[in-house]
């Protein structure tokens, strides 16, 4: 394997080492050991910047299942490198933050860091995989590891509920996405994303194109919390704050963004892609920002703001696809949309990561995140206040922070969409800038709430669990770094233009890039009194007025029906599914083996009988059959009498003896047919079985039905006769149908020469079918251990009861 493969596997390897480090190095925080890995990976991947800045890529492949076309192919281009740097860079800051946030004596640190490293490795696998099957494997691993991280405080009901909710919704989307991958691979006859993108024009005309697109978007929308699947993200805030800062602002929730960006070269030519991605993203932005205002928990506000910002990025990726339908880029749509999406992706990771860490500091130092109990913390926590201002103002889209620049680009792209004569935008296009402006207003309001409701107003010490004070410097380092990047990227945005933004944008829609893939990316503060600038001024003015009079209109949220919500629909669906499955299971799980055998055999008869009838598979050819002798007729009569005796016997002992007679009669058939080894095996098995039956029935209590006259059950008789008939028909058809020469000639020729044995049956069992025999022995061994365990358990319980008596 190559260095890229080892980089993906490194977090998993370190995760396996964490418990041993935790056990041996008890004097230091485990996070210091874990911190080394993301730092090393971040620095290591910086070496690929010169490659991606030239719009080149690096691909390294390790064979996995080459016969099926499934390989572990790691692929680095501008888009994947951007995500890798976010995963490792933010990951390092989160680990550093967690060292001071989590107590090394009160918390189960080994579990926390094992889960965190698992997630880091899974995310690296997602963004570096070129094979869709490998990508899916890592994709689902992100869901599993995030489930474990959200449920880290598993003793809390809300943590378990949030973890289960995120798991169910994201795994559902992942399964839909897998279906889309399989459909897409059938269309293109490959699992490689690069090869599928090269076939984009042909794939767009395929009848399965829309189905593959919708299924893949299910995966993207559920992971990136788009409407209506966003409901898992607010409940995931029950996780520790370092988890929220990492998973729910910078990495996991952006996996869906990555998926849409990565598959844009394949699907973005379609108008369906534009409308689905663009409208779902924009509606999510507006809806989530509207709901963020009414939240009273700081992490709840940040959760809905994350959903809103993800919707913003998603809408930009949808808007950028419209540029594919133009021969030139004179309208600058591509620059305003896709580049804005990439830029805001970076900006959101910086300001939202710092805000989550600030929220963790407030909770850590005051004992609450409820804004109704907070206030007046500006003088008590001045550094935290400064960090909050930087992060919140950037999120609100105010200068001189980086969020202002990408928000301006967002508004520009929405305005330009309204001017396009494409996809019926001449009719509906006006909705894009209007909804974008409305969402921006609510974004401004909740950003102001984060700052002024927490740090301004009246100080309420009686409502706080702790005496508030500034956080230790170690806990402030990570948010300070992120806040510094907010300012740096705001004042000098072109530091990223050709190092990260242009290569990533070139990877998203490479087919429309002019001049050999060289995009002109130049970001500046001032472009004159443009439409988007006037929209920003309107956002600030209306936002200030609405925030000032917030108590006057906040009551409007009470008019929304509380019972008609997506969360209630989710809960009702789970309850209905649980009750329905319980009722259904109870209806057929009767506790009687006879009932289960009826289900099995009825299915057996139906499927095989229907297949024989539909396919016309029954054949009867007596030309190669031997003549029936006196001994065979006599044994058949004995078999029939013994079988009938089992059914009509009133004594268990008589039934057991009759069952044994059936088995011994079959062994005589083997002797007549010159198979002494099979006859010997049958005799041994029948003897042991009869002894075991006698032993079992000796310990069973008497059953009343054996003492009464039993009624004839027509249903059981039909099932029994049906099974016998179907098996007989299959046996006759198999004997009468010879599609190819029998394999017995092969065994006759090769038993001695290749296996060195003269007994053909033994050689087949030991050599030619050795694995079958091995697995059969394993099954018998497991069954023997199970029986021994049951007997041992019963004896121990019996011993305890005797002692108690």
pTM, full prediction: 0.82
pLDDT at 168: 95
pLDDT at 330: 42
Mean pLDDT of 216-240: 95
Among 85-99, 297-311, 344-358, 591-605, which is the least confidently predicted range?
Answer: 591-605
φ and ψ at residue 131, rounded to 5 degrees: -90, 125
Q: How far apart are CA 193 and CA 680, in angstroms?
A: 59
Q: What percent of the chain has pLDDT over 90?
A: 58
Greater confidence, 564 or 412? 412
Question: pLDDT category, 278, cuts 50, 70, 90?
Answer: very high
pLDDT at 512: 47
pLDDT value at 211 more than 90: yes
Task: Please answer whether residues 78 and 500 qualify as being in contact, where contact means their C-beta atoms are separated by less than 8 angstroms.
Answer: yes
pLDDT tens for each residue of 116-160: 999 999 999 999 999 999 999 999 999 999 999 999 999 999 999
pLDDT value at 565 more than 60: yes
Q: How far apart are CA 238 and CA 235, in angstroms?
A: 6
Side-chain half-sphere CA neighbours of 27 within 13 A: 0
Question: pLDDT category, 288, cuts 50, 70, 90?
Answer: very high
Q: How far apart are CA 470 and CA 380, in angstroms?
A: 7
pLDDT tens for each residue of 319-378: 888 766 654 444 455 567 889 999 999 999 999 999 999 999 999 999 999 999 999 999
pLDDT value at 513 more than 60: no
Q: Which residues pair with 59 in a beta bridge?
A: 75
pLDDT at 632: 85
pLDDT at 648: 82
Question: pLDDT category, 707, cuts 50, 70, 90?
Answer: very low
Cis peptide, bond prior to residue 228, ω within 30 of zero? yes
Question: pLDDT category, 508, cuts 50, 70, 90?
Answer: confident
The most confident of the ranges 5-19, 680-694, 715-729 is: 5-19
Mean pLDDT of 386-394: 96
pLDDT at 331: 43
What's the token pair of residue 361? 């500091």
pLDDT at 717: 86
Q: How far apart are CA 64 and CA 66, in angstroms?
A: 6
What's the token pair of residue 462? 């009686």
pLDDT value at 705 more than 90: no
Question: pLDDT category, 701, cuts 50, 70, 90?
Answer: low
Greater confidence, 743 or 491? 491
Q: How far apart are CA 514 and CA 494, in angstroms?
A: 20
pLDDT value at 612 more than 70: yes
Contacts of residue 345, Cβ cutoff 8 Å, sequence gap at least 6: 82, 86, 254, 257, 313
Q: How far apart are CA 212 and CA 204, in angstroms?
A: 11
Task: Single out the residue of 404, 206, 495, 30 nearest to residue 196, CA to CA.
Answer: 206
pLDDT tens for each residue of 578-607: 999 999 998 888 888 888 899 999 999 999
Q: How far apart are CA 89 and CA 46, in angstroms?
A: 11
pLDDT tens for each residue of 625-634: 778 888 888 8
pLDDT at 651: 78
Mean pLDDT of 184-209: 93
Domain ranges of the chain: 1-212+231-259, 268-547, 592-621+709-739, 628-704, 740-805
pLDDT value at 452 more than 70: yes
Question: pLDDT category, 792, cuts 50, 70, 90?
Answer: confident
Q: What percent of the chain has pLDDT over 70?
A: 94
pLDDT at 353: 94
Residue with tokens 């993108």: 197
Q: Which helix (H) or strand (E) holds 76?
A: strand 70-76
Question: pLDDT category, 562, cuts 50, 70, 90?
Answer: confident
């Amino acid at each position: 394997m190559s260095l890229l493969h080892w980089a993906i596997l490194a977090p998993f390897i370190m995760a396996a080492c964490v418990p041993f480090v935790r056990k041996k190095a008890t004097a230091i925080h485990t996070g210091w050991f874990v911190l080394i890995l993301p730092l090393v990976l971040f620095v290591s991947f910086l070496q690929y910047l010169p490659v991606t800045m030239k719009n080149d890529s690096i691909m390294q492949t390790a064979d996995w299942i080459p016969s099926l076309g499934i390989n572990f192919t790691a692929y680095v281009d501008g888009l994947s490198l951007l995500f890798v740097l976010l995963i490792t860079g933010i990951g390092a800051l989160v680990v550093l933050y967690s060292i001071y946030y989590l107590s090394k004596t009160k918390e189960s640190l080994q579990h926390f860091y094992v889960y965190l490293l698992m997630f880091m490795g899974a995310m690296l696998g997602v963004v570096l995989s070129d094979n869709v099957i490998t990508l899916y494997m890592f994709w689902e691993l992100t869901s599993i590891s995030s489930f474990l991280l959200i449920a880290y405080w598993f003793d809390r009901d809300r943590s378990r509920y949030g973890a289960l909710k995120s798991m169910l919704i994201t795994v559902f989307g992942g399964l839909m996405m897998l279906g889309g991958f399989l459909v897409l691979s059938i269309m293109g006859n490959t699992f490689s994303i690069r090869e599928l993108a090269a076939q984009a024009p042909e794939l767009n005309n395929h009848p399965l194109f829309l189905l593959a697109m919708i299924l893949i978007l299910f995966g993207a929308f559920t992971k990136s919390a788009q409407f209506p699947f966003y409901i898992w993200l607010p409940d995931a805030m029950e996780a520790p704050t370092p988890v929220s800062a990492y998973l729910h602002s910078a990495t996991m929730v952006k996996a869906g963004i990555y998926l849409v960006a990565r598959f844009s070269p394949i699907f973005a030519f379609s108008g369906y892609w534009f409308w689905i991605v663009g409208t779902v993203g924009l509606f999510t932005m507006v809806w989530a920002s509207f709901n963020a205002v009414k939240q009273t928990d700081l992490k709840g506000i940040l959760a809905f703001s994350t959903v809103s910002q993800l919707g913003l990025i998603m809408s930009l990726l949808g808007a950028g696809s419209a540029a594919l339908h133009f021969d030139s880029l004179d309208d600058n749509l591509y620059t305003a949309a896709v580049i804005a999406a990439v830029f805001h992706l970076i900006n959101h990771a910086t300001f939202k990561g710092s805000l989550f860490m600030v929220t963790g500091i407030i909770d850590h130092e005051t004992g609450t995140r409820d804004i109704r109990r907070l206030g007046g913390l500006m003088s008590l926590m001045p550094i935290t206040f400064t960090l909050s201002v930087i992060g919140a103002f950037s999120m609100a889209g105010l200068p001189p922070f980086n969020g202002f620049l990408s928000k301006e680009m967002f508004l520009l792209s929405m305005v330009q969409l309204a001017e396009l004569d494409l996809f019926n935008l001449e009719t509906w296009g006006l909705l894009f800038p209007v909804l974008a402006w409305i969402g921006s207003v609510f974004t401004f309001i909740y950003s102001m709430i984060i700052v002024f409701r927490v740090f301004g107003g009246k100080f309420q010490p009686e409502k706080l669990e702790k005496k508030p004070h500034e956080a230790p410097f170690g806990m402030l380092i990570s948010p300070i770094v992120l806040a510094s990047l907010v300012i740096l990227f705001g004042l000098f945005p072109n530091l990223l233009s050709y190092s990260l933004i242009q290569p990533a944008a070139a990877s998203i829609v490479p087919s429309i890039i002019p001049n050999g893939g060289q995009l002109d990316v130049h970001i500046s503060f001032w472009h004159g009194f443009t439409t988007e600038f006037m929209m920003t001024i309107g956002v600030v003015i209306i936002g200030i007025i609405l925030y000032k009079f917030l108590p006057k209109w906040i009551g409007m949220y009470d008019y929304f029906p509380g019972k008609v919500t997506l969360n209630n629909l989710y809960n009702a669906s789970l309850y209905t599914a649980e009750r329905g499955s319980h009722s259904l299971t109870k209806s057929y799980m009767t506790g009687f083996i006879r009932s289960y055998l009826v289900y099995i055999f009825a299915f057996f008869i139906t499927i095989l009988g229907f297949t024989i009838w539909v396919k016309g598979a029954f054949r009867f050819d007596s030309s190669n059959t031997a003549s029936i002798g006196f001994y065979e007729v006599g044994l058949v009569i004995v078999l029939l009498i013994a079988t009938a005796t089992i059914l009509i016997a009133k004594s268990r002992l008589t039934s057991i003896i009759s069952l044994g007679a059936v088995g011994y009669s079959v062994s005589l058939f083997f002797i007549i047919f010159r198979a002494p080894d099979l006859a010997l095996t049958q005799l041994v098995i029948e003897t042991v079985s009869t002894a075991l039956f006698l032993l079992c029935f000796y310990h069973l209590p008497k059953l009343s039905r054996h003492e009464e006259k039993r009624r004839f059950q027509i249903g059981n008789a039909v099932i029994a006769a049906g099974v016998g008939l179907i098996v007989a028909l299959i046996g006759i058809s198999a004997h009468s149908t010879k599609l190819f020469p029998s394999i017995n000639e092969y065994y006759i020729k090769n038993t001695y020469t290749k296996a060195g044995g003269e007994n053909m049956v033994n050689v087949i069992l030991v050599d030619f079918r050795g694995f079958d025999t091995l697995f059969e022995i394993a099954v018998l061994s497991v069954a023997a251990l199970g029986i021994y365990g049951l007997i041992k358990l019963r004896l121990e319980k019996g011993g305890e009861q005797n002692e108690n008596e």
